[in-house]
């Protein structure tokens, strides 16, 4: 089992939430990075729209390396697990978090909401849900005295008080407001456009946010709720900015007064937006209950009091300056970075205690690679590994002065990172649940951002249907060399449209398919390609010898072992195939049966009696452990089994894919290097498995496979990927 990745602090949140909670966490991460705490972001899925982007403050931290994104099911170890919510971590998750933490603090920051009628007694259920989700007991602390006075679930330990208060670095929020001698600009607010964040009726709404044309009102975050209260339209003196239009720091420097009144049945558990306004030097008019949080920093009252308070601030520069200075002083004294550092140090000690001295092989970041040239790799496989594995085979054989960088549609992006490659993930159209034209538009923006950031010299694409936007990318980046790694053996008449992109690419690498003599697909018509031998992730000399491979997989050394490498679209279908194969193997006598769990499908498949099952990648490293295999005839599995000379029974996966697996399986049979069946559940399969398990048959297949397999073409493909095309070299020579 791989070692847990170690961090000082892990924050658990949905990074798409656009509320103050994520901005608060981002502020804390900035402080952690300043003194050397290593912090990870563990993403959990809250009930928010799928296409919402990551909070820009968290995105900045990920981009600069101050925060590291880990996958939802990654095994982690930390000194402090910090959750914010409970909204962000109370939803059922697709992946079970696997975190071992010395301390786990859930910062409760929610009050009553009128649409849900949440009362204080409901808070414990949030905590219980978080306990069940993470499999640990959280210590619940309040984001403020407001929550502490209403949430009965908030508790304490000997290390901290019941309050895990907000923190902000006032220096980073300094704007032009700090230097103004008098109030200038409109009144305004920034808040989530939700019924809980607006006054409940028209009278309260217009008292807080006037419709007087002499006063300008600006709102960041939207105002559809207010428009609904006002009959569908907003006053002419209002100006509204959607949340993605600008950041709060930029918005606040426009204001003279920050006014924050909301629904009377809801309470703001953290007051984050008020704190940001105070740090920006903007005097605040807020509800009375927040006095317990901010003391004399703000001006308190009810919506009916707001007109007089606003007038006093705008009409009297001395009053406005006094309120500004009171706010800045309170921020510095009560909410500054040192306050947060002190509580973290008191709880977990200095940075590095949880991860220094970790043995090489899993947790240490890979040493920086000397890189002159960056090569970008783009792969398909929304829910698989074939394309991305082929690209990793090429990437790991690039020259030492080349740095591979991945952008993948594969949800298995974690295996790319675990092999030491920088990787970014973009969901497929099916994963995003959007129409293909919409996805293409999103993809172009994402790919352009990727290319702008890393400035690669080449983009290597392994994709049966390359994105139709690639000609546009070629126009936008004329110096970028486009390389298509395109295997053959397409089904006859299939995928013809994809070949229209043939001329978009500067170079086309075609990995040999051992079944190529049987190829009847469209790719055989094209000769302007650079063929290489079959591409596999590992070379034969990198495979473990039999005894070591069996020891690592937990297989006995004195019993025949059969590998099942079967694939299916759904868990129940795959389970039925594994059970059928197990029964066929056991009918032939005593044998161990092993089925590797796909890194993404493991949670969908319960244990199968009589079959050893656990996640393994790359499976090819352990192939010498097996006497025989039953496998679907996908490109990677097929050629890896041939490389290792494992006697194999192949069947074609019944899918709509262009990949002609039936011809590939037939080629193994014609070469004597394997057996072929069409259906695992017919009577023919019984005879075929009996032949597979016969020692004489296995010996003949092993010998034939060794003659059949010509070697690994990954190094040759890497040479092509790293070298300019003849056309580009000619252009470069002409320029000189």
In sequence order, the 6+-apart residues with CB closer than 8 A to the CB of 682 are: none
3-state SS assignment for residue 260: coil
Domain endpoint, select from 532, 559, 587 = 532
The model's confidence at residue 87, banded by pLDDT at 50, 70 and 90, is low
Q: Which two tokens stand for residue 40?
A: 């990870």
- Residue 62 falls inside a structural domain: yes
CATH of the domain at 395: 3.40.50.2000
Contact in structure between 456 and 374 (CB atoms under 8 Å) = yes
- Cis omega before residue 653 (within 30°)? no
Nearest by Cα to 487 from 463, 503, 466: 463
Whether residue 139 is contained in a domain is answered as: yes
* Residue after which a domain boundary falls, among 281, 312, 334: 334
As a whole number of angstroms, the distance between CA 735 and CA 158 comes to 72
Residue 354 burial (CB < 10 Å; 0-12/13-18/19+)? buried
Same domain, 77 and 48: yes
Distance (Å, whole) CA 328 – CA 298: 10
At 353, the pLDDT band (50, 70, 90 cuts) reads low
Inside any domain, residue 162:
no
Same domain membership, residue 242 and residue 117: no
Residues 551 and 672 in one domain: yes
Rounded CA separation 100/79 (Å): 9
pLDDT of residue 430: 83
Which is it for strands 481-485 and 39-43: parallel, antiparallel or unpaired?
Answer: unpaired
Alpha helix (H) residue ranges in 465-545: 470-476
The confidence score (pLDDT) of residue 10 equals 96
What does the alpha-carbon distance between residue 419 and residue 69 come to, in Å, rounded to a whole number? 16
pLDDT for 661 beyond 50? yes
Distance CA 74, CA 414 (A): 9
| Total structural domains within the chain | 4
What are the tokens at 23?
A: 């901005």
| Residue 734 reports pLDDT greater than 50 | no
Question: Per-residue pLDDT tens for 121-164?
Answer: 333 344 447 788 888 888 888 888 888 876 544 443 333 347 88
Distance of CA 74 to the CA centre of its chain: 11
Residues 575 and 474 both lie in one domain? no
Tell whether 473 and 601 lie within a shared domain: no
Asked if 469 and 439 count as a contact pair (C-beta separation under 8 A), the reply is no
Residue with the larger pLDDT of the pair 20 and 558: 558
**Torsion angle of the four alpha carbons 407, 410, 412, 416, in this order, in degrees rounded to the nearest 10:** -30
H/E/C letters for each residue in 116-149? CCCCHHHHHHHHHHHHHHHCCCCEEEECCHHHHH
Domain endpoint, select from 272, 307, 334: 334
d(CA 545, CA 548): 6
- Is 412 domain-assigned? yes
Same domain, 437 and 524: yes
Question: Do residues 658 and 623 both lie within one domain?
Answer: yes
Regarding whether 601 and 523 lie in a shared domain, the answer is no
Question: pLDDT for 516-551, tens place per residue?
Answer: 999 998 888 777 899 999 999 999 999 999 999 999
**In terms of domains, do 582 and 680 share one?**
yes
Helix or strand holding residue 84 (H, E): strand 75-85
Which string of b and e fits 509-523 if b means at least 16 CB within 10 Å? bbbbbbbbeebebbb
- What is this structure's pTM? 0.58
Span between the terminal Cα atoms of the chain, in Å? 55
State which residues form the domain around 89.
5-150
Asked if residue 155 is part of any domain, the answer here is no
Is 242 part of any domain? Answer: yes
Same domain, 395 and 517: yes
pLDDT confidence band for 719 (50 / 70 / 90): very high
Tell me if residue 304 falls in helix, strand or coil.
helix
pLDDT tens digits, 421-450: 999 989 888 888 888 888 888 899 899 989
Residue 554 has pLDDT above 70, yes or no: yes
Dist CA 425 CA 404 (whole Å): 15
- Is residue 682 domain-resident? yes
Whether residue 265 is found in the same domain as residue 377? no
Q: What is the pLDDT of residue 500?
A: 80
Residues 586 and 462 in one domain: no
Q: For residues 326 and 279, is the Cβ–Cβ distance under 8 A? A: no
- Whether the pLDDT of residue 188 is over 60: the answer is yes
The reply to whether 343 falls in a domain is: no
């Amino acid at each position: 089992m791989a070692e847990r990745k170690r961090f000082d602090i892990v924050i658990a949140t949905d990074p798409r939430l656009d509320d103050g909670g994520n901005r608060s966490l981002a502020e804390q991460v900035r402080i952690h990075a300043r003194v050397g705490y290593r912090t990870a972001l563990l993403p959990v899925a809250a009930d928010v729209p799928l296409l919402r982007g990551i909070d820009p403050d968290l995105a900045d931290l990920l981009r600069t390396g101050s925060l590291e994104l880990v996958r939802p099911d990654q095994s982690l170890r930390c000194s402090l697990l910090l959750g914010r919510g409970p909204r962000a971590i109370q939803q059922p998750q697709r992946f079970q978090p696997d975190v071992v933490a010395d301390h786990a603090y859930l910062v409760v920051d929610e009050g009553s909401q009128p649409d849900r009628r949440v009362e204080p007694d409901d808070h414990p259920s949030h905590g219980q849900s978080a306990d069940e989700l993470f499999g640990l007991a959280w210590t619940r602390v309040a984001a403020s005295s407001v929550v502490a006075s209403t949430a009965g679930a908030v508790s304490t330990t000997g290390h901290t008080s019941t309050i895990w208060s907000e923190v902000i670095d006032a220096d980073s929020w300094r704007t032009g407001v700090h230097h103004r001698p008098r109030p200038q600009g409109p009144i305004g607010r920034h808040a989530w456009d939700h019924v809980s964040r607006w006054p409940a009726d028209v009278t309260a709404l217009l008292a807080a946010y006037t419709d007087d044309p002499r006063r300008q009102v600006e709102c960041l975050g939207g105002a559809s709720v207010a428009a609904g209260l006002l009959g569908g339209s907003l006053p002419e003196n209002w100006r509204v900015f959607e949340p993605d239009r600008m950041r709060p720091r930029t918005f606040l420097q426009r204001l003279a007064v920050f006014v924050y009144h909301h629904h009377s049945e809801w309470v703001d558990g953290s007051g984050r937006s008020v704190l940001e306004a105070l740090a920006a030097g903007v005097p605040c008019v807020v509800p009375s209950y927040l006095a317990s949080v901010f003391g004399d920093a703000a001006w308190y009252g009810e919506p009916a009091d707001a007109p007089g308070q606003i007038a006093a601030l705008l009409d009297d520069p001395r009053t406005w300056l006094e309120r500004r200075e009171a706010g800045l002083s309170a921020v510095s004294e009560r909410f500054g970075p040192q306050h947060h550092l002190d509580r973290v140090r008191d709880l977990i000690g200095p940075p590095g205690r949880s991860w220094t001295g970790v043995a090489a092989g899993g947790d240490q970041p890979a040493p920086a690679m000397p890189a002159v040239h960056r090569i970008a790799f783009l792969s398909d496989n929304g829910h698989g590994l074939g394309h991305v594995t082929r690209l990793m085979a090429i990437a790991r054989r690039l020259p030492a002065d080349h740095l591979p960088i991945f952008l993948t549609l594969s949800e298995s992006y974690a295996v790319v990172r675990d092999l030491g490659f920088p990787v970014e993930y973009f969901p497929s159209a099916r994963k995003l649940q959007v129409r293909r034209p919409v996805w293409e538009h999103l993809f172009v923006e994402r790919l352009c951002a990727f290319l702008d950031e890393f400035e690669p010299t080449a983009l290597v694409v392994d994709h049966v249907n390359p994105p139709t936007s690639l000609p546009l990318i070629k126009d936008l980046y004329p110096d970028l060399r486009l390389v298509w790694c395109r295997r053959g053996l397409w089904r006859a008449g299939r995928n013809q449209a994809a070949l229209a992109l043939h001329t978009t690419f500067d170079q086309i690498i075609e990995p040999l398919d051992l079944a190529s003599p049987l190829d009847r697909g469209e790719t055989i018509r094209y000769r302007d390609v650079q063929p290489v031998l079959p591409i596999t992730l590992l070379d034969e000399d990198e495979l473990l010898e039999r005894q070591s491979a069996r020891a690592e997989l937990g297989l006995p050394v004195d019993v025949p072992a059969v590998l099942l490498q079967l694939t299916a679209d759904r868990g129940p279908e795959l389970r039925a195939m594994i059970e059928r194969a197990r029964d066929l193997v056991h009918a032939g006598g005593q044998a161990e049966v092993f089925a590797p769990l796909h890194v993404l499908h493991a949670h969908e498949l319960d244990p199968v009696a009589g079959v050893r099952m656990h996640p393994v990648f790359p499976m090819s490293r352990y192939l010498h452990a097996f006497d025989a295999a039953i496998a679907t005839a996908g490109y990677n599995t097929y050629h890896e089994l041939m490389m290792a000379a494992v006697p194999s029974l192949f069947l074609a996966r019944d899918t709509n894919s262009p990949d002609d697996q039936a011809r590939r399986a037939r080629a193994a049979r014609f070469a004597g290097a394997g057996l072929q069946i069409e259906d695992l559940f017919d009577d023919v399969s019984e005879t075929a498995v009996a032949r597979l398990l016969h020692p004489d048959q296995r010996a003949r297949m092993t010998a034939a496979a060794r003659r059949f397999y010509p070697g690994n073409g990954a190094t040759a493909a890497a040479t092509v990927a790293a070298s300019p095309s003849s056309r580009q070299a000619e252009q470069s020579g002409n320029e000189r």
